[in-house]
Amino acid sequence: MSGAKVEKTDQEWREQLTGAQYDVLRKAGTEAPFTGEYVHHKQDGSYRCAACGTELFGSETKFDSGTGWPSFTEPAVAEAVELRPDNGLFMRRTEVLCRTCGGHLGHVFDDGPSIDGGPPAQRYCINSAALAFQPGAEAGSGEDAQTDAGAEVHAGAAADAPPPDAPFAAR
């Protein structure tokens, strides 16, 4: 990870992101359960931040939690996410943000699946609108997986999203 932060004005984020992406990533919104593109997604690859392209989660850690949002046991790279207390809505939760652009991704809970009979893993409950999927090379993409800028992703976005081959810096 390069550690370079992505900073944009609110207007630049509004122009780059779809309405749903903006609401989730910049305003800490939550999409309705079972409506996101990646809830039942099973393809091999990586899930990246829809705003800046940072790799966040790998398909090998994704599981069906039954909650209505994509769930992962851990980030692909721990430093890619930032955790902070969220005591809103009369609850104690831990918010998950993209460390590169500060985008809200979702929340993490201590009720994930038990791995090898051990204690429960964490459950990173992430909004589909915050994610862009990049197929893995073994998934038939025809190319090796690329990283960050220049990565081909499928952003689960509406028609006003930039084309998948646009560099993230231009998004």
Considering the domain boundaries, does residue 88 fall inside one? yes
Helix and strand totals (H; E) in the chain: 2, 9
What span, in angstroms and rounded, lies between the C-alpha atoms of 31 and 21?
9
Residue 115 covered by a domain:
yes
**Residue 89 in this model has a pLDDT that exceeds 60:** yes
Q: Average of pLDDT values for 115-122?
A: 86
Our count of domains for the chain comes to 1
> How does pLDDT run across 3-55, given as a tens digit for each residue?
689 999 999 999 999 999 999 999 999 999 999 999 999 999 999 999 999 99
- Answer yes or no: is 37 within a domain: yes
Q: What CATH number did the domain enclosing 78 receive?
A: 2.170.150.20
Q: So what's the pLDDT on residue 3? A: 67
Residue 145 in domain:
no
Q: How far is CA 105 from the centre of its chain?
A: 6
Q: Domain containing 82: what range?
A: 32-137
Please report which confidence band the pLDDT of residue 86 belongs to, taking 50, 70 and 90 as the band edges.
confident
Lowest mean pLDDT among 88-92, 94-98, 109-113, 122-126: 88-92
Residues taking part in catalysis: 125
Domain membership flag for residue 10? no
